[in-house]
Amino acid sequence: MNARPERHAAAPLPTVWLVGAGPGDPELLTLKALRTIRAATVLLVDDLVGDGVLRYARKSARIVHVGKRGGCQSTPQTFIEQLMLREALAGERVVRLKGGDPCVFGRGGEEAEFLRAHGVQVEVASGITAGLAAATALGVPLTHREHAHGVIFVTGHPRDTDAMLHWRTLADAAAQGLTLVIYMGVAEAPRLQRELLLGLPGATPVAVVERASQPGQRSAVTTLAGLVETIAAASLASPSVIIVGDVLQGLAQVTRSTQQAA
Ligand code: SAH
């Protein structure tokens, strides 16, 4: 017996909302995200979504954690997709809640394609991506008329980069005045450092921001030559964003002079 309400002819099309939960601080939710979270009857939630955000879900809502919480393997992508599909077709108001923006390294694109191919409508509520929150945490702009005329958001994760990414090209782009914002890069820092040094001076300013916008937020400002050492010394870990470029220049000077003063 299926106890769920049946959809009738006038019912709206089955819909899944792909919602960006932002980088952690609930104040950074958009009004649209908040509205959809409040209306959801089923939420499929990634690891990076803060508990502060989940407070806005209805008490009666079913919350399914599909990340790596508790040291378990993350839920297989096909399971997540099938679950979203099943619940949407059963008439539930399904929210797929992801950290940051759902379509920035969040598999939002893949999930939307899958759902649309199965006749489910997809609505997206953008979120503030971690790279922006990291820059805000440092108090630096990602672009600056004098230092950077653009930004590259890039993943440092090897699975995504194996064949595709040429870090030397990215180093050249950074040398031409593009800020690099590297997601999932901390574990790969030795390789990133080595390859970026092929095209950038060792003195290039670099910052690492862990848990941007969250209560445990930490950051370190260093140089490209000092990146690996700094990460180890400060035990910086995932989730962290690495920012590379001259937009950090003022900050690096402040840090250096603070160190000298100390
Ligand atoms: N969709 C997300 C990114 C998912 S990929 C977004 O738009 O932000 C996961 C990576 O995002 C992490 O490995 C880390 O690099 C970064 N990240 C997510 N939340 C973060 C946070 N609060 N602070 C720093 N980095 C974060």
| 216 three-class SS | coil
**Gap from CA of 156 to ligand 1 centroid (Å):** 12
Extract the residue ranges of the chain whose pLDDT is less than 70: 1-11, 68-74, 158-164, 252-262
Report pLDDT for 1: 46
Cα-based distances in Å from 19 to 33, 64, 73, 144, 247: 6, 15, 23, 30, 30
Among 30, 49, 157, 183, which is best to mutate for testing ligand 1, by the most ligand atoms less than 8 A from CB? Answer: 183
Q: Compute the distance from residue 86 Cα to the ligand 1 centre, in Å.
A: 28
pLDDT in the model for residue 251: 80
Task: Tell the residue nearest (CA) to atom 5 of ligand 1.
Answer: 105
Q: What is the pTM of this model?
A: 0.90
240 C-alpha to ligand 1 centroid (Å): 7
Burial of 96 (0-12, 13-18, 19+ CB in 10 A): buried
pLDDT at 68: 62
- Confidence at residue 70, expressed as pLDDT on a 0 to 100 scale: 42
The pLDDT value given to residue 50 = 86
